[in-house]
Chain A
Amino acid sequence: MNDIHTTASDPPTAGVSTLDVLAAVLVEVVGDDLLVDTEITLDTSFNDDLELESIEFVALSEKLQVHFGDRVDFVSWIGDMELEEIIGLKVGQLVSYIDECTR
C-alpha cells in the first residue's frame, strides 16, 4: 500500500488503519490485480472505480464483519440503504462507519 502514509500528527482514528485492513481484505476477495491499476483512497468508489462485482462486495462485507466482530453490524447498516446508495458507496463511507463502531 504505497498510497497510505501515516505521520505522527495523524490522529489515531483518522481511518488509516481501517483503510489498511479494508485494502488487505479487498485483495483477499478480488486478488492482487486490483492494486496494479487502482489506488485505493477514501474517495474510491467500489462500483465505478474498483469495478467490484456485487457478489465480491457481499464477500468483502462478510470478511470485514468477521474481522471486526460484533462491534460492527453490516446487516443493519446495509439494511438501511437503498439499492442506489449501496451501488454508490465509497471506501471512505465504509471506513467511517467501521471507525464509528469501533471507536
Chain B
Amino acid sequence: MPKVRAGGYDFFYQRMGQGESTVVFIHGLVMDNLSSWWYTVANQMAKHADVICYDLRGHGLSDRPESGYQISDAVEDLKNILAALDLRRPVHIVGNSYGGVVGLATASTYRDLVESLVLIEAHAAVDEHSERKRNQLVHGLDLAGLLLTSDELARWLEDAAGRKMNRMARSARTLIYDTTMVDDLRDSRPFTPTELKAIDCPTLLIYGENSDIADRGELLVNTLPRARLCVIPGVDHSVLMEATRSVRDLITGWILNGGPASTNGGPGVNTAGVQSGSGG
C-alpha cells in the first residue's frame, strides 16, 4: 500500500488520474479517513485531474503518533507530503469539515502552495474580539464537540455493526484517549480577521442549509477576499454524504470549468437546487 514518508511519519495516500490540475482532498476528524472522498468525489475527479487523497495523522492507515495534533501540525504534514510527492505546482485543496480548516490554515501559512480552496462545512474559529483565551477555548470545544456529539458520528456508529463497529469504535477511542488530539485542538489558535483577509486565493464555500455551523459560511464569505458561498438546501453538516451529487458537481465545475477565475466578479455558481451568493 502506498505510504509517503513525511516529517518522520508514514501517511497512507492514494494518487489517481492525471491532468493539468492537482487536487488534494482532506477528510474530517476521528471517524473519517480518505475513503469518504474516495467513495464520493475523488475517483470521478481523477478522470480529469491529478488527484491525491491522504489519511491525516492518526487517521485511517496513516501513522498514529501520540502527539502533534494541532491544526498547525496538520499544515506541516500536508506541506511535507506535497514536497515528498514532488509537487511543484500549487494545488487545489478540497477539505471536508476539519479538513476544510486544515485547507484554510494551509492557505494562510503557505499561500504559494494553494491554487484554490473548496471548504465544505469548515469549522473555522475566528478570534473576532481579541479575547484570545476565550476564543481558543471555544475553538477547541467546538472541534471536540464535533467529534464527540455530531449526528454524523452517531449515524456511523448506528450503521456499523459487529466487526466493523468494533474496529471503528476501538480506533476512535484510542485516537481520542491515547493521543493528545483533543487537547491539541483545544490549544490550536483561532484565525484572526487579518489573517483571513490575507487569504486571497479563490475559495468555494459549501454549507448545508440546516447545518449548526452555517454561520461559519456567512462569516467566511464576508471575510475572505475572493470567496463564494453555496448553501445546499435540506441538509445538515453531513453535506458530502447527504448531497454527494450536488457537492461533486460543484467541485468539478469549480476546478474544471474555471470556477476559481469567476470569483473575480463573474456570475454566481449556477447549479440546480443550490442557492449561491458571492462575497468579497
Which A residues are CB-close (under 8 A) to B44? 79
Distance in angstroms between the alpha carbons of A6 and B240 in the assembled complex = 44
Which A residues are CB-close (under 8 A) to B46? 75, 79
B61 within 8 A of A: yes
With A79-B46, A83-B241 given, is the CB distance from A51 to B164 under 8 Å? yes
| A16-24, A54-62, A90-98 - interface stretch | A54-62
Interface residues of B (CB under 8 A from A): 1-2, 12, 14, 16-17, 33-36, 38-40, 43-44, 46-47, 55, 60-61, 160-164, 167-168, 241, 244-245
* CB-defined A-B contacts under 8 Å, sample of 8: A51-B161, A51-B162, A53-B167, A55-B61, A78-B43, A79-B47, A83-B39, A83-B241
Most B-side CB within 10 Å, residue of A53, A62, A78 = A53
Distance in angstroms between the alpha carbons of A67 and B7 in the assembled complex = 30
Which of B2, B16, B35, B162 is the one whose CB lies under 8 Å from A55? B35
B14 close to A62 (CB less than 8 A)? yes
Which A residues are CB-close (under 8 A) to B168? 53
Distance in angstroms between the alpha carbons of A75 and B15 in the assembled complex = 10
Distance in angstroms between the alpha carbons of A14 and B1 in the assembled complex = 29
Docked complex: A33-86 residues within 8 A CB-CB of B? 51-55, 57-59, 62-63, 74-76, 78-79, 82-83, 86
Distance in angstroms between the alpha carbons of A28 and B30 in the assembled complex = 24
Q: Which residue of chain B is the closest to A63 with respect to CB atoms?
A: B1
Q: Which residue of chain A is the closest to B161 with respect to CB atoms?
A: A51
CB distance from A32 to the nearest CB of B (A): 13
Interface residues of A (CB under 8 A from B): 51-55, 57-59, 62-63, 74-76, 78-79, 82-83, 86-87
Which A residues are CB-close (under 8 A) to B12? 55
Distance in angstroms between the alpha carbons of A51 and B61 in the assembled complex = 17
A55 close to B34 (CB less than 8 A)? yes
B43 close to A75 (CB less than 8 A)? yes
CB distance from A70 to the nearest CB of B (A): 13
B164 close to A59 (CB less than 8 A)? no
CB distance from A72 to the nearest CB of B (A): 13
A59 close to B36 (CB less than 8 A)? no
With A55-B33, A55-B34, A58-B34 given, is the CB distance from A82 to B244 under 8 Å? yes
A59 close to B61 (CB less than 8 A)? yes
Which A residues are CB-close (under 8 A) to B33? 54-55
14 further A-B contacts with Cβ under 8 Å, apart from A54-B38, A74-B43, are A51-B160, A52-B164, A53-B167, A54-B36, A55-B12, A55-B34, A58-B35, A58-B38, A62-B14, A63-B1, A75-B43, A79-B47, A82-B245, A86-B39
A53 close to B164 (CB less than 8 A)? yes
Q: Which residue of chain B is the closest to A34 with respect to CB atoms?
A: B163
Which A residues are CB-close (under 8 A) to B35? 53-55, 57-58
Q: Which residue of chain A is the closest to B61 with respect to CB atoms?
A: A55
B47 close to A76 (CB less than 8 A)? yes
Nearest 10 A-B pairs (CB), nearest first?
A54-B35, A79-B43, A51-B164, A51-B163, A78-B43, A79-B44, A55-B35, A75-B16, A55-B33, A75-B46
Which B residues are CB-close (under 8 A) to A82? 244-245
CB distance from B37 to the nearest CB of A (A): 10
Distance in angstroms between the alpha carbons of A53 and B43 in the assembled complex = 18
